[in-house]
Chain A
Amino acid sequence: MELVKNDDSTWTLSKVSELEHLMLSRLPDSADPTGCEEAVDRLYPSPIAPDAEIDGDKSFTLENDWKEFIEPDLRSDFRDSLKVVADDLGKSSMTKEGDLNQYEFIIPTAHANHWCSALNQARIVIHHRYDLPSEDGLLDMDPNPEKWMATLQSEIYGMLMEFLIKKVLWV
Protein backbone atom coordinates (compact mmCIF):
# COMPACT_ATOMS: atom_id res chain seq x y z
CA MET A 1 0.00 0.00 0.00
CA GLU A 2 1.33 3.42 -0.93
CA LEU A 3 -0.06 6.87 -0.21
CA VAL A 4 0.86 9.90 -2.30
CA LYS A 5 -0.41 13.43 -1.93
CA ASN A 6 -1.07 14.54 -5.52
CA ASP A 7 -1.73 18.23 -4.98
CA ASP A 8 -3.88 20.28 -2.60
CA SER A 9 -7.06 18.64 -3.80
CA THR A 10 -6.46 14.86 -3.85
CA TRP A 11 -4.35 12.01 -2.52
CA THR A 12 -3.97 8.55 -3.97
CA LEU A 13 -3.92 5.26 -2.16
CA SER A 14 -2.31 2.80 -4.56
CA LYS A 15 -0.74 -0.67 -4.68
CA VAL A 16 -3.43 -1.88 -2.30
CA SER A 17 -3.17 -5.67 -2.12
CA GLU A 18 -6.12 -8.07 -2.02
CA LEU A 19 -5.68 -8.50 1.74
CA GLU A 20 -5.44 -4.76 2.38
CA HIS A 21 -8.46 -4.21 0.13
CA LEU A 22 -10.42 -6.79 2.07
CA MET A 23 -9.49 -5.11 5.35
CA LEU A 24 -10.44 -1.68 4.02
CA SER A 25 -13.78 -3.00 2.78
CA ARG A 26 -14.51 -4.07 6.35
CA LEU A 27 -13.79 -0.61 7.75
CA PRO A 28 -17.35 0.82 7.98
CA ASP A 29 -18.77 -2.31 9.63
CA SER A 30 -15.80 -2.71 11.94
CA ALA A 31 -16.28 0.83 13.26
CA ASP A 32 -19.83 0.05 14.42
CA PRO A 33 -19.71 -0.42 18.21
CA THR A 34 -23.17 -2.02 18.42
CA GLY A 35 -23.16 -4.91 20.87
CA CYS A 36 -19.85 -3.93 22.49
CA GLU A 37 -20.59 -1.87 25.58
CA GLU A 38 -16.90 -1.15 26.31
CA ALA A 39 -16.43 0.35 22.85
CA VAL A 40 -19.57 2.49 23.21
CA ASP A 41 -18.35 3.73 26.61
CA ARG A 42 -14.95 4.55 25.14
CA LEU A 43 -16.32 6.37 22.08
CA TYR A 44 -18.82 8.35 24.17
CA PRO A 45 -17.18 8.78 27.58
CA SER A 46 -18.43 10.91 30.44
CA PRO A 47 -16.94 14.41 30.30
CA ILE A 48 -16.05 14.27 34.00
CA ALA A 49 -12.68 12.96 35.14
CA PRO A 50 -12.98 9.64 37.04
CA ASP A 51 -11.48 11.09 40.25
CA ALA A 52 -13.02 14.55 40.00
CA GLU A 53 -14.09 16.07 43.29
CA ILE A 54 -17.44 17.36 42.20
CA ASP A 55 -20.81 17.52 43.90
CA GLY A 56 -23.01 14.53 43.01
CA ASP A 57 -25.93 16.65 41.73
CA LYS A 58 -23.68 18.81 39.58
CA SER A 59 -21.96 15.75 38.17
CA PHE A 60 -25.33 14.15 37.41
CA THR A 61 -26.55 17.31 35.64
CA LEU A 62 -23.39 17.69 33.56
CA GLU A 63 -23.43 14.04 32.51
CA ASN A 64 -27.11 14.19 31.58
CA ASP A 65 -26.67 17.40 29.61
CA TRP A 66 -23.71 15.82 27.84
CA LYS A 67 -25.76 12.77 26.88
CA GLU A 68 -28.64 14.93 25.71
CA PHE A 69 -26.82 17.67 23.80
CA ILE A 70 -23.24 16.61 22.98
CA GLU A 71 -23.37 12.86 22.43
CA PRO A 72 -25.88 13.07 19.54
CA ASP A 73 -23.52 15.48 17.77
CA LEU A 74 -20.59 13.12 18.29
CA ARG A 75 -22.64 10.19 16.97
CA SER A 76 -23.68 12.22 13.95
CA ASP A 77 -20.07 13.32 13.23
CA PHE A 78 -18.81 9.75 13.50
CA ARG A 79 -21.58 8.46 11.22
CA ASP A 80 -20.87 11.18 8.64
CA SER A 81 -17.19 10.19 8.50
CA LEU A 82 -18.05 6.51 8.02
CA LYS A 83 -20.45 7.39 5.21
CA VAL A 84 -17.81 9.49 3.39
CA VAL A 85 -15.27 6.67 3.66
CA ALA A 86 -17.77 4.01 2.56
CA ASP A 87 -18.51 6.09 -0.54
CA ASP A 88 -14.78 6.53 -1.30
CA LEU A 89 -14.20 2.80 -0.86
CA GLY A 90 -16.82 2.12 -3.53
CA LYS A 91 -14.78 4.03 -6.12
CA SER A 92 -11.64 1.94 -6.43
CA SER A 93 -10.03 0.91 -9.67
CA MET A 94 -8.26 -2.44 -10.11
CA THR A 95 -4.96 -3.08 -11.88
CA LYS A 96 -2.87 -6.22 -12.38
CA GLU A 97 0.67 -6.61 -11.06
CA GLY A 98 1.73 -9.97 -12.55
CA ASP A 99 -0.90 -12.43 -11.33
CA LEU A 100 -1.93 -10.24 -8.44
CA ASN A 101 -4.78 -7.77 -8.31
CA GLN A 102 -4.03 -4.32 -6.93
CA TYR A 103 -6.43 -1.53 -6.14
CA GLU A 104 -6.20 2.24 -6.27
CA PHE A 105 -8.30 4.99 -4.74
CA ILE A 106 -8.11 8.69 -5.61
CA ILE A 107 -9.54 10.59 -2.67
CA PRO A 108 -10.32 14.29 -2.12
CA THR A 109 -8.02 15.92 0.44
CA ALA A 110 -11.14 17.26 2.15
CA HIS A 111 -11.98 13.65 3.09
CA ALA A 112 -8.69 13.01 4.91
CA ASN A 113 -10.08 13.92 8.33
CA HIS A 114 -13.08 11.64 7.76
CA TRP A 115 -10.68 8.82 6.92
CA CYS A 116 -8.69 9.42 10.09
CA SER A 117 -11.88 9.46 12.13
CA ALA A 118 -13.23 6.27 10.54
CA LEU A 119 -9.91 4.41 10.92
CA ASN A 120 -9.61 5.50 14.53
CA GLN A 121 -13.20 4.57 15.36
CA ALA A 122 -12.63 1.14 13.87
CA ARG A 123 -9.37 0.65 15.79
CA ILE A 124 -11.08 1.54 19.08
CA VAL A 125 -14.03 -0.78 18.42
CA ILE A 126 -11.81 -3.67 17.28
CA HIS A 127 -9.57 -3.26 20.33
CA HIS A 128 -12.52 -3.53 22.73
CA ARG A 129 -14.57 -6.08 20.80
CA TYR A 130 -11.66 -8.54 20.63
CA ASP A 131 -10.14 -7.49 23.95
CA LEU A 132 -6.78 -6.93 22.27
CA PRO A 133 -3.76 -6.29 24.49
CA SER A 134 -1.69 -3.13 24.31
CA GLU A 135 1.35 -3.22 22.01
CA ASP A 136 3.58 -4.61 24.77
CA GLY A 137 1.30 -7.61 25.32
CA LEU A 138 0.99 -8.75 21.72
CA LEU A 139 3.57 -11.52 22.00
CA ASP A 140 1.74 -13.03 24.96
CA MET A 141 -1.65 -12.99 23.22
CA ASP A 142 -3.45 -16.31 23.13
CA PRO A 143 -3.28 -18.10 19.74
CA ASN A 144 -6.81 -17.20 18.72
CA PRO A 145 -7.11 -16.73 14.90
CA GLU A 146 -9.91 -14.19 15.27
CA LYS A 147 -7.79 -12.10 17.59
CA TRP A 148 -4.78 -12.28 15.29
CA MET A 149 -6.92 -11.25 12.31
CA ALA A 150 -8.35 -8.37 14.35
CA THR A 151 -4.83 -7.32 15.31
CA LEU A 152 -3.72 -7.39 11.67
CA GLN A 153 -6.75 -5.34 10.66
CA SER A 154 -6.08 -2.78 13.39
CA GLU A 155 -2.39 -2.57 12.42
CA ILE A 156 -3.24 -1.96 8.76
CA TYR A 157 -5.63 0.83 9.80
CA GLY A 158 -2.95 2.27 12.08
CA MET A 159 -0.37 2.22 9.29
CA LEU A 160 -2.78 4.04 6.96
CA MET A 161 -3.48 6.62 9.68
CA GLU A 162 0.26 7.24 10.05
CA PHE A 163 0.57 7.75 6.27
CA LEU A 164 -2.37 10.16 6.29
CA ILE A 165 -1.07 12.17 9.24
CA LYS A 166 2.45 12.48 7.86
CA LYS A 167 1.70 12.98 4.18
CA VAL A 168 -1.66 14.78 4.11
CA LEU A 169 -2.72 16.23 7.46
CA TRP A 170 0.52 17.42 9.07
CA VAL A 171 1.14 21.11 8.46
Chain B
Amino acid sequence: MRNLGSNVEVETPPSPEVDVLNEVTKPWQVMILNDPVNLMSFVTLILRRIFGYSEERAVELMLKVHYEGSAVVWTGEREKAELYVQQLQSHQLYAVMEPVD
Protein backbone atom coordinates (compact mmCIF):
# COMPACT_ATOMS: atom_id res chain seq x y z
CA MET B 1 0.00 0.00 0.00
CA ARG B 2 1.25 3.48 -0.64
CA ASN B 3 -0.10 6.95 0.18
CA LEU B 4 -0.58 9.36 -2.76
CA GLY B 5 -0.56 12.51 -0.63
CA SER B 6 -4.30 12.55 -0.18
CA ASN B 7 -6.39 10.51 2.15
CA VAL B 8 -7.03 7.99 -0.53
CA GLU B 9 -5.00 4.85 -0.30
CA VAL B 10 -4.72 2.60 -3.31
CA GLU B 11 -3.41 -0.88 -3.49
CA THR B 12 -0.19 -1.19 -5.40
CA PRO B 13 -0.31 -4.09 -7.82
CA PRO B 14 2.68 -6.39 -7.55
CA SER B 15 5.26 -5.60 -10.19
CA PRO B 16 6.03 -8.27 -12.78
CA GLU B 17 9.57 -8.42 -11.39
CA VAL B 18 8.25 -9.44 -8.00
CA ASP B 19 6.08 -12.10 -9.63
CA VAL B 20 9.08 -13.50 -11.45
CA LEU B 21 11.19 -13.38 -8.27
CA ASN B 22 8.50 -15.24 -6.33
CA GLU B 23 8.28 -17.81 -9.09
CA VAL B 24 12.00 -18.39 -9.03
CA THR B 25 12.48 -18.44 -5.26
CA LYS B 26 9.33 -20.33 -4.32
CA PRO B 27 10.35 -23.78 -3.10
CA TRP B 28 9.05 -26.95 -4.74
CA GLN B 29 8.72 -30.33 -3.16
CA VAL B 30 9.55 -33.63 -4.79
CA MET B 31 7.19 -36.44 -3.89
CA ILE B 32 7.07 -40.17 -4.51
CA LEU B 33 3.62 -41.65 -4.91
CA ASN B 34 2.81 -45.20 -3.91
CA ASP B 35 2.93 -47.82 -6.59
CA PRO B 36 1.92 -51.46 -6.08
CA VAL B 37 4.76 -52.73 -8.28
CA ASN B 38 7.99 -51.14 -7.10
CA LEU B 39 9.85 -53.24 -4.54
CA MET B 40 10.49 -51.70 -1.13
CA SER B 41 14.19 -52.53 -1.37
CA PHE B 42 14.38 -50.87 -4.79
CA VAL B 43 12.74 -47.64 -3.61
CA THR B 44 15.12 -47.57 -0.61
CA LEU B 45 18.14 -48.17 -2.84
CA ILE B 46 17.20 -45.36 -5.24
CA LEU B 47 16.50 -42.87 -2.43
CA ARG B 48 19.92 -43.59 -0.94
CA ARG B 49 21.61 -43.34 -4.30
CA ILE B 50 20.00 -40.13 -5.56
CA PHE B 51 19.76 -38.10 -2.35
CA GLY B 52 22.59 -39.70 -0.40
CA TYR B 53 20.23 -40.44 2.50
CA SER B 54 21.26 -42.88 5.23
CA GLU B 55 19.67 -46.32 5.10
CA GLU B 56 17.45 -45.40 8.11
CA ARG B 57 16.18 -42.18 6.46
CA ALA B 58 15.59 -43.91 3.11
CA VAL B 59 13.65 -46.74 4.78
CA GLU B 60 11.59 -44.22 6.76
CA LEU B 61 10.61 -42.36 3.57
CA MET B 62 9.92 -45.60 1.69
CA LEU B 63 7.60 -46.78 4.47
CA LYS B 64 5.80 -43.42 4.45
CA VAL B 65 5.17 -43.86 0.71
CA HIS B 66 3.99 -47.42 1.29
CA TYR B 67 1.62 -46.77 4.19
CA GLU B 68 0.49 -43.18 3.54
CA GLY B 69 0.39 -43.18 -0.26
CA SER B 70 3.08 -40.55 -0.76
CA ALA B 71 6.08 -38.87 0.84
CA VAL B 72 7.90 -35.61 0.27
CA VAL B 73 11.48 -36.70 -0.31
CA TRP B 74 13.11 -33.33 -1.02
CA THR B 75 12.26 -29.61 -1.01
CA GLY B 76 14.15 -26.78 -2.70
CA GLU B 77 14.51 -24.74 -5.83
CA ARG B 78 12.45 -25.67 -8.86
CA GLU B 79 15.27 -26.47 -11.29
CA LYS B 80 16.82 -28.92 -8.88
CA ALA B 81 13.40 -30.43 -8.14
CA GLU B 82 12.95 -31.06 -11.88
CA LEU B 83 16.31 -32.79 -12.00
CA TYR B 84 15.43 -35.03 -9.06
CA VAL B 85 12.03 -35.93 -10.54
CA GLN B 86 13.75 -36.86 -13.78
CA GLN B 87 16.31 -39.01 -11.94
CA LEU B 88 13.61 -40.76 -9.92
CA GLN B 89 11.46 -41.35 -13.02
CA SER B 90 14.49 -42.75 -14.82
CA HIS B 91 14.31 -45.56 -12.22
CA GLN B 92 10.55 -45.91 -12.84
CA LEU B 93 9.66 -44.47 -9.45
CA TYR B 94 6.36 -42.59 -9.50
CA ALA B 95 7.87 -39.17 -8.81
CA VAL B 96 6.15 -35.79 -9.13
CA MET B 97 6.65 -32.23 -7.87
CA GLU B 98 4.59 -29.31 -6.69
CA PRO B 99 5.15 -25.79 -5.36
CA VAL B 100 5.11 -25.48 -1.59
CA ASP B 101 2.22 -23.33 -0.34
Contacts and interface: CB of A to CB of B under 8 A. Distances in A.
Interface of A: 42-54, 70, 73-74, 77, 116-117, 120-121, 123-124, 127, 134-135, 154, 158, 161-162, 165-166, 169-170
Q: Summarize B's interface: helix, strand, loop or mixed.
A: mixed
Q: Summarize A's interface: helix, strand, loop or mixed.
A: helix
Interface of B: 31, 33, 35-39, 41-42, 45, 82, 85-86, 89-92, 94-99, 101
A120 B36 contact: no
Contact of B94 (A45, A77, A121): A45
B6 to A, nearest CB: 35
Contacts, number: 76
In the A-B complex, the 9 residue pairs with the closest CB atoms: A52-B98, A134-B36, A49-B98, A49-B96, A165-B41, A127-B37, A120-B92, A47-B85, A123-B37
A66 to B, nearest CB: 8
B63 to A, nearest CB: 15
A120 B37 CA distance: 8
Contact of B36 (A48, A127, A162, A165): A127
Contacts of B96: 45-50, 52
Contacts of A127: 36-37
A162 B39 contact: yes
A169 B45 contact: yes
B39 A158 contact: yes
Nearest to A159: B39
